[in-house]
Amino acid sequence: MAADRDVDLIQGTLNVLILKTLSQGPMNGYGIARFVREATAGGIEVEEGALYPALHRMEHREWIAAEWGVSENNRRAKYYRLTPLGRRMLRARTESWERLVDAVGKVLYAEPRRA
Amino acid sequence: MRRDEDHSQTREPAWRRYLRFLRPNPAADLDDELRDHLESSIEDLVARGMSREAARVEAARRFGDVSRVREVVQHLDQRYSTQRGRLAILETVVQDVRYAARGLRRSPAFLVVATISIALGIAANATMFSVVNALLLRPIPGANADRLVRVYQNHHSPFQWEELSWLRDHAVSFDYIVGERYQVMSFRPATNADAERARASFVTRGFFPALGVTMATGRAFDSDDRDAAAPPVVVISYAFWQRRFAGDSAVLGRTISVADHPVTIIGVASPAFRSSVLGWAPELFIPHSIMPLLTGQPLAEFGGSFYTTGRLHRGVDMGSGEAELRGLARQLVLTDTARYGGMTVRLDHIRGVNAEERAGFAVGSAFLMTMVGLVLLIGCANVANMLLGRAANRRREFGVRLAIGANRTRLVRQLLTESLMIAAIGGVAGFAVARAITRALPSILPPEAGVDITFLQPDFRVVLFTSVLCLLTTIVFGLAPALRAASTDVVAMLKGSDARVGRVRRRGALVVGQAALCVVLLAVASLFLRSLASSRTVDPGFRADGVIDATIDLSLLGGRANPPATFARIMRETSAMPSISSATLAAVVPLSGSNMESRAIPEGAAVQSDRRAGSMVYFNVVAPKFFATLQTPILRGREFAETDDSTSTPVAVVNETAARRLWPSGDVLGKRFKWGDGRLYQVVGIARDANYVMPGESPKPTIYLPFTQAEHRAEMTLQLRTTADVATMRRTIWALLRDATPQLPPPAVVRMVDDMSITLLPVRLGATFLGTFGALALVLAAAGIYGVASYSVSRRTREIGIRAALGATRTRIIAMVLWENGRRVAAGTAIGLAVAILIGLGLSSILYGVRAVDPVALGGVVVAIATVAAAASFGPARRAANADPVRSIRSE
């Protein structure tokens, strides 16, 4: 149970990170991984392979859409982009994330009260 | 040809280019995607100065387990794609239905006419099938049908009491073997109330548990009730409880009077249950053990009248049950060969009516089902016709849709969805009508008829039948037009030109078919009508006009009646009345729907077994002056007289055919024959042949016996030749009977011609049903002919315009249009007549006084169809003739 919830949390976080990344513009899987790594300056260490289940799941849910193109080195590459639905999801998730951070922060930094 | 080449040139490369697009390959896509990731990662690292080898290792480390990721993602993709596939199918179905609904809403006139065409056909079919289902397929209502079988002796006869009790007491393959004997009895709700008729069933031990029938209230019989010395008890039917006692629960324990004996009500049977025999609706269930008390006859004297039902022991099949009963029957025969000789036992499933009636019903049902099938076909032809016309008007729409890439299968599917919706709406409406008709039918029969047809109501089988019929109907009327619509040439469609004549010809063929079907129905219906008419003019061998019948049933009083004395008194008193010129009694009124048959063995004939010797003859038991009253001539000898009484020599009158059959040579007067009662009767008169079973039948050998000498009968019909009207005679007879037998409910008094009308019932029903179907067919065909005429006129606008411009007169144009359709109707009529004549030949056994090639009947049909066809084509023809030639030529 607890482990499952951890997975959910991680997955949910990963989703938000991907959506945020794609809000900059279309990108392939590696592009997303590099952006996340650089933006967090190594603060979040994710196996890059873990991106793909999340990407495909969100594609099926139509939060993101994919298109096949050709990379600079002439390889077939799949480029993901945000759909309007994905944009709404990003906004909703960002707000709830902020509320969570805010709430957790309040608890963690609260002044101990006297009885 | 050239277009085909263009096609192949453009199609091939497109096929290759879009191979992935058309048939996605998710596994290969995923490999490409992951390869791209790893290569990009390696390139990145190399660009930062790593060696290629180290970069490869670092990229793999950062990525993690590639094969595991591939597995997870593939699984994920698969799950989503099957989900999407299901959704997609549902979505297309919903789309098709929406599209069809939109199309139908846009043309309400088409929708209404099409659904009515189908609904009428479905209604006729569902009604007929409800009847067939109830009469031939369904187990008896209200009973637990599991392991229930009907037990017959010989072919399909009921059992005598001794036979039934022998089988029941010895058989081990059965949990129960029970018998039911039906009889109408006199009933009084209280000892001082007026007498009424009540339908009663005498039932043997275990009747209710054997059939799995529960009580709505009170209890069933128990073994104590079977004791002949126990106080008499009765279970009443639910309907009788509601009707006669207003469902009052205080009825339990109440004492009523049956055949003038007090009996106590102990239970009310469950509402769904009627009887173990389909069509019977007894109101009173009485233990057979008190039959002797109520009827005054010992059980042995009832003869073969117990309809027998068995419930097989669990795990015993019908074959072994039958084998056991056959063995038991053989043992019984050994005990008294003369009495039981030749007896065999047969088991049968309990489905619908009894075996003896089933063959007749099956033939009649098959015939009527065919006829209603024709009505539905005509309706289908109409709808197919309209769909073809509709397709013609929507050609441009289809063309556009095909041109922008709709596929043809999809188009066919959408058109079929539309057809299915028409069939479904028609089916639901038709089923509702059928249900209403079957609900209304029981109320048409008078309650005195005692026949229960509430079981006709449709059940799941009828629903299933109707649904299948709707599907079939859709295919019959919808498939061809849909395929045609989708198979047409896109370019021609878009241009709106259509040079082919096939369409008109096809619709013309529909008119031929409709006319043929319609003529078949009308011709068969008119044969029935003609037969009905000619049966009124046929000479039955007696004169029914001026004879009034009163059926007096002393068996209602059971043992309390003394039939010989009572009938003698009634005869004496009626003969003395001045308004009555001649009075007699007859056990059976000729041509009234019943008859009696038995075996006569001429004296001196070689006899091996009583069940085989002599001849089967029809017989009747009558009083003196029978022949005088009915005005049937006695050719030789004399008819019965007062002096032929129980003390004198038994005598008989035979008709000409019986005389020839029993004694092919020599003088028949004075000859003697052995009768079923064991006595020798001497022939004292020969009567002219007269109809007995059916009007106009071939002469049947018939023997007449005097009621004073033959085995006495409790039910006889008083037949009076009188100039008085029925109402007067009814009062006279009621007054007379009230004096003679005060406990007897008043009998029905009717004219003999009305009594006889029952024999014409099959023909009258046939005439009514088929007349209705024929009229329906004519209306539907008229709509079809009109449709085709309008269509063909609209297609020939230009041609007709040119003709008019070149000087064709209005009359000529009208004649031309009429002839175009007339030709097709004539062809259809010819086919229809040929088929109708074949059917007529097959029906010759029920249709009398009319031949299959009846000029009046067939001529009438031709006139009817010709008139309707001309009327239906005339409107379009006139429209064509009135059109402005200039505008017509410019059209298109």
Interface residues of A toward B, Cβ cutoff 8 Å, are 28-31, 33-34, 47-50, 52-53, 56-57, 60, 68, 71, 73, 75-78
**What single letter denotes the amino acid at residue B682?**
Q
CA–CA min distance A41, chain B (Å): 15
Q: Return the pLDDT at B495.
A: 60
Q: What pLDDT, on a 0 to 100 scale, did the predictor assign at position B620?
A: 94
User: Each residue of B731-764: b (16+ CB within 10 Å) or e?
Assistant: ebbeebbeebbebbbebbbbbbeebbeebbeebb
Contact between B76 and A29 using a beta-carbon 8 Å cutoff: no
* Average pLDDT of every residue of chain B: 84
Task: Give per-residue pLDDT as tens, B551-588.
Answer: 888 877 776 777 888 888 888 888 888 889 999 999 99
Provide the pLDDT for residue B720: 93
CA-based torsion, B501, B506, B509, B515: positive or negative = negative
Spatial distance between the Cα atoms of B520 and B50, rounded to a whole number of angstroms: 95
Q: Positive or negative CA dihedral for B660, B662, B665, B669? A: negative
Q: DSSP characters for B711-725?
A: S--SEEEEEEEESS-
pLDDT at B490: 64
Given this model, what pLDDT does residue B14 score? 44
CB contact under 8 A, A78 and B32: yes
- Give the model's confidence band at A87: pLDDT under 50 very low, under 70 low, under 90 confident, else very high: very high
pLDDT mean over A93-108 = 87
Tokens of B289: 């053990």
CA of B62, closest CA in chain A: separation in Å? 6
| Contact yes or no for A78 and B36 at CB 8 A | yes
- Which pLDDT value is given to residue B21? 47
Record: contact B64-A50, CB cut-off 8 A: yes
pLDDT at residue B674 above 70?
yes
CB atoms A78 and B33 under 8 Å: yes
Residue A29: closest C-alpha in chain B: B37
Is residue B83 predicted with pLDDT exceeding 90?
Answer: no
SS3 call for A67 = strand
Test the B interface: residue of A10, A35, A38, A56 with most B CBs within 10 Å: A56
Q: Is the pTM of this model over 0.80?
A: no
Instruction: Evaluate if residue B816 carries a pLDDT over 70.
Output: yes
Our CA angle for B200, B202, B204, nearest 5°, is 155
Calpha distance B528→B719 (Å, rounded)? 30
B29, B63, B72 member nearest A48 (Cβ): B63
Residue by residue, DSSP assigns B260-307 as: TEEEEEEEEE-TT---SSTTB--SEEEEGGGHHHHHSS-GGGG-S-BE
| Predicted complex ipTM | 0.87
**What's phi and psi for B159, nearest 5 deg?**
-100, 155
Q: pLDDT tens-digit profile of B719-735?
A: 999 988 888 998 888 88
Which residues of chain A have a CB within 8 Å of the CB of B65? 49
- How would you label B625-636 residue by residue, b for 16+ Cβ within 10 Å and e otherwise? bbbbbbbbeeee
- Residue of chain B nearest A34, judged by CA positions: B41
Query: pLDDT of B246-287, one tens digit each?
Result: 988 899 999 998 888 899 999 999 998 888 888 788 999 999
Which residue of chain A has the CA closest to B67? A49
Tens of pLDDT, residues B131-169: 888 888 888 877 777 889 999 887 778 888 888 889 999
Q: Quick one: tokens of B638?
A: 């004399």
Q: Which chain A residues touch B34 with a CB distance below 8 Å?
A: 29, 52
pLDDT of residue B504: 59
Amino acid at position B557, single letter: L
* C-alpha span between B613 and B607 (Å, rounded): 6
Structure tokens belonging to residue A64: 């993101």
The per-residue pLDDT for range B307-350, each reduced to its tens digit, is: 999 999 998 999 999 999 999 988 888 888 877 877 888 888 88
Question: With 0-12 CB in 10 A as exposed, 13-18 as middle and 19+ as buried, what is B555?
Answer: buried
Q: In this structure, what DSSP letter does residue B867 have? A: H
Looking at residue B269, its pLDDT comes to 94
Dihedral through CA B553, CA B557, CA B559, CA B560, nearest 10? -120
The torsion angle over the Cα atoms of residues B573, B577, B583 and B589, rounded to 10 degrees, is: -90
Q: Do A75 and B35 touch (CB under 8 A)?
A: yes
- CA dihedral over B614, B620, B625, B627, signed as positive or negative: negative
Cα distances from A40 to residues A27, A34, A46, B55, B536, in angstroms, run: 18, 10, 11, 22, 108
Q: Give me the pLDDT at residue B4, please.
A: 41
Interval B156-203: pLDDT, tens: 788 888 888 899 999 999 999 999 998 888 888 887 777 888 889 999
Stretch B353-361: mean pLDDT: 78
Q: Are B783 and B838 in contact (CB under 8 A)?
A: no
How far apart, in whole angstroms, are the C-alpha atoms of residue B525 and residue B768? 8
How far is it, in rounded angstroms, from Cα B6 to Cα B293? Answer: 100
- Residue B5: CB atoms within 10 A of its CB come to 9
Mind listing the pLDDT tens digit for each residue in B825-866?
A: 999 999 999 999 888 888 777 777 777 788 888 899 999 999
Predicted pLDDT of residue B826:
93
pLDDT confidence of residue B111: 87
* pLDDT tens-place string over residues B389-427: 777 777 777 777 777 777 778 888 888 888 899 999 999
The sign of the CA dihedral B832, B837, B838, B840 is positive
B550 pLDDT above the threshold of 80: yes
Instruction: From chain B, pick out residues whose CB is under 8 angstroms from the CB of A49.
Output: 63-66, 68-69
Residue closest to B138 by CA, chosen among B451, B361, B308: B361
Residue B32 reports pLDDT greater than 80:
yes
Whether B488 shows a pLDDT value over 70: the answer reads no
Give me the residues paired with residue B258 across strands.
B187, B261
At residue B11, the pLDDT reads: 39
Between B76 and B401, residue with greater pLDDT: B76
For residue range B578-598, what is the model confidence (pLDDT) as tens digits?
Answer: 889 999 999 999 988 788 888
